């Protein structure tokens, strides 16, 4: 049984993931719209990178046809590798290796990936420099895509050299894992939410597990210590176990089994609000390859907003909404429509100001004619989520999450995202992309259905904020 680069990356992620792959034990999951979107993003980058190689990289080397190997494969005993391109450098007579990645930087896994590749190919070729070819985070689209500027090649030769002994040993450890018939002693992952083989890695996981403790999985040692102690449930974490103050508070709330509510602090926060109240939510799309002038790789493109307005206390709630349905830069229409209904006074209430606030800054940069408006919105912004993030209101049912989808069922049980065709932001992103960029004009019914689903989803986000705010006021 061969160990490929993809297998090795799975082993680095978690040995049990590799075992599950090789023994056909991955969970059967339907590929959702967002996962499909990520696949397509990767394919897009690959296509552009292949053009970059053909139109720029090969010419840069002034290489002869026989000195260019596109997607060569080599097998070294039990190990198999395929890289994106090998080019013989005429100055050194050595083969330089390039690996295409869809990120804007070299990530840790890429270094191990490239080292694995180099160990295999060194058995057949005299390798020179090793590069990761990735997107240039500073590239800004201006007219036609400039392939030469879109990509950057980072030399990781020294890094792979420093990792070669470790990777050499790891790949043999990976081979041993593959040969195991019983995975009982194989190391599992520490992130159940994204685990591809949950039934194997985390069978019989409690409803509220140690992996739900905020940021605890950032410390693998602490997670492994708890696992060694046989502890899976939050309720079983010893009071003496080293946790941060926030983590300890979360665990204590879980053990108490009742909500912890700081009424005075919540009232103090809400008293900062100034009428009219504007409850606003954005939805956005972040293509790897910039689509419109002024954008960088993976820049968010806000395409939709929902707004609930309360002019004065006791007034009737008003609702406004916008969605771009044409394949154009949405920002001008997005902000123009928003500016028409948001006044210059009053609090702008969001859920997670980091997102809406950063989008306002970026939109003002791309379209400076709206910079003052965007800055004004940020100056008036109030983050409703911080009441939950800061522990002013904590409930065991939140399981340490500040997500509106965790908070809403507890504070407003009669309002729900259940049954919605589009029920979270990642699917909204992929659905808008499909509606605007992929469906033909003769698929109008489907386009209209997606549009309506997007509008209802975004509307629920802002209505949920209104209802949560009302619930907090009544405490």
From CA 256, how far away is CA 252, in angstroms rounded?
A: 6
Residue keyed to tokens 């609702």: 319
Residue 36: the pLDDT is 85
Query: According to the model, what pLDDT value does residue 219 have?
Result: 93
Q: Give CATH 3.90.320 domain extents, the chain.
A: 3-179
User: What's the confidence (pLDDT) of residue 403?
Assistant: 95
Per-position pLDDT tens, the chain of length 475: 899 999 999 999 999 999 999 999 999 877 777 888 889 999 999 999 999 999 999 999 988 899 999 999 999 999 999 999 999 999 999 999 999 999 999 999 999 999 999 999 999 999 999 999 999 999 999 999 999 999 999 999 999 999 999 999 999 999 999 999 888 889 999 999 999 999 999 999 999 999 999 999 999 999 999 999 999 999 999 999 999 999 999 999 999 999 999 999 999 999 999 999 999 999 999 999 999 999 999 999 999 999 999 999 999 999 999 999 999 999 999 999 999 999 899 999 999 999 999 999 999 999 999 999 999 999 999 999 999 999 999 999 999 999 999 999 999 999 999 999 999 899 999 999 999 999 998 999 999 999 999 999 999 999 999 999 999 999 8
Residue recorded with tokens 């180099």: 118
| Global pTM value | 0.93
Rounded CA-CA distance 123/107 in Å is: 25
pLDDT of residue 334: 99
Task: Give the tokens for residue 438.
Answer: 């992929």
pLDDT the model gives residue 127: 98
pLDDT at 37: 86
DSSP helix/strand/coil, 308: strand
- Identify the pLDDT of residue 223: 97
pLDDT at 354: 96
Residues of the chain with CATH 3.30.420.10: 266-473
3-state secondary structure of 168: helix
| H/E run at residue 309 | strand 301-310
Q: % helix / strand / coil in the chain, to the nearest 5?
A: 50, 15, 35
**What are the two backbone dihedrals, phi and then psi, of residue 176, each rounded to the nearest 5 degrees?**
-65, -40
Half-sphere exposure of 404 (CA within 13 A, CB side): 25
The CATH architecture assigned to 3-179 reads Alpha-Beta Complex (3.90)
470: which 2 tokens? Answer: 């009302």
Residues 15, 21, 23: CA angle, nearest 5 degrees: 100
The domain 266-473 is placed in CATH, from the list 3.90.950.10, 3.90.230.10, 3.30.420.10, 3.40.50.970, at 3.30.420.10
CA nearest 447: which of 428, 434, 430, 429? 434
Q: What is the pLDDT of residue 11?
A: 97
Cβ neighbours of 263 (radius 10 Å): 11
Transcribe 216-244 into DSSP letters: GGG-HHHHHHHHHTT--BGGGS-TTS---
Residue 50 pLDDT = 96
Q: How far apart are CA 323 and CA 270, in angstroms?
A: 30
């Amino acid at each position: 049984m061969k160990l490929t680069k993809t297998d090795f990356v799975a082993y680095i992620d978690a040995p049990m993931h590799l075992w599950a792959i090789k023994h056909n034990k991955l969970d059967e999951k339907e590929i959702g719209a967002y996962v499909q979107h990520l696949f397509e993003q990767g394919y897009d980058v690959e296509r552009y990178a292949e053009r970059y190689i053909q139109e720029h990289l090969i010419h840069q080397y002034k290489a002869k046809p026989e000195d260019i190997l596109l997607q060569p494969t080599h097998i070294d005993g039990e190990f198999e590798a395929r890289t994106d391109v090998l080019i013989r450098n005429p100055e050194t007579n050595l083969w330089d290796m390039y690996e295409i990645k869809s990120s804007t930087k070299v990530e840790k896994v890429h270094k191990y990936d490239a080292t694995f590749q180099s160990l295999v190919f060194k058995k057949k070729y005299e390798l020179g420099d090793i590069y990761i070819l990735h997107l240039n985070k500073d590239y800004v689209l201006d007219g036609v895509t400039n392939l030469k500027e879109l990509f950057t090649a980072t030399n990781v030769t020294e890094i792979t050299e420093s990792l070669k002994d470790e990777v050499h040993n790891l790949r043999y450890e990976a081979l041993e894992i593959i040969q195991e018939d019983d995975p009982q002693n194989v190391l599992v992952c520490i992130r159940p939410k994204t685990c591809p083989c949950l039934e194997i890695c985390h069978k019989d996981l409690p409803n509220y597990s140690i992996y739900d403790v905020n940021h605890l999985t950032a410390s693998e040692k602490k997670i492994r210590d708890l696992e060694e102690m046989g502890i899976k449930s939050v309720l079983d974490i010893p009071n003496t176990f080293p946790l941060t103050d926030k983590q300890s508070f979360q665990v204590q709330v879980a053990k108490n089994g009742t909500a912890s509510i700081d009424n005075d602090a919540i009232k103090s926060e809400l008293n900062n609000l100034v009428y009219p109240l504007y409850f606003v939510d954005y939805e956005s799309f972040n293509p790897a390859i910039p689509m419109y002038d002024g954008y960088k790789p993976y820049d968010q493109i806000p395409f939709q907003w929902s707004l609930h307005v309360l002019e004065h206390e006791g007034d009737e709630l008003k609702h406004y909404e916008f969605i771009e349905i044409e394949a154009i830069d949405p920002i001008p229409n997005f902000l123009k429509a928003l500016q028409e209904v948001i006044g210059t006074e009053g609090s702008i209430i969001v859920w997670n100001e980091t997102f809406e606030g950063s989008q306002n800054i970026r939109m003002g940069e791309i379209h400076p004619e709206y910079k003052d408006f965007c800055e004004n919105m940020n100056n008036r912004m109030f983050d409703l989520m911080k009441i939950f993030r800061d522990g002013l209101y904590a409930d065991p049912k939140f399981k340490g999450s500040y997500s509106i989808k965790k908070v809403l069922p507890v504070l407003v049980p009669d309002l729900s995202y259940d049954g919605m065709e589009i029920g979270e932001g990642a699917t909204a992103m992929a659905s808008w992309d499909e509606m605007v960029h992929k469906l033909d004009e003769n698929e109008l019914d489907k386009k209209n259905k997606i549009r309506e689903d997007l509008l209802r989803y975004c509307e629920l986000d802002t209505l949920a904020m209104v209802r949560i705010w009302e619930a907090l006021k009544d405490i």
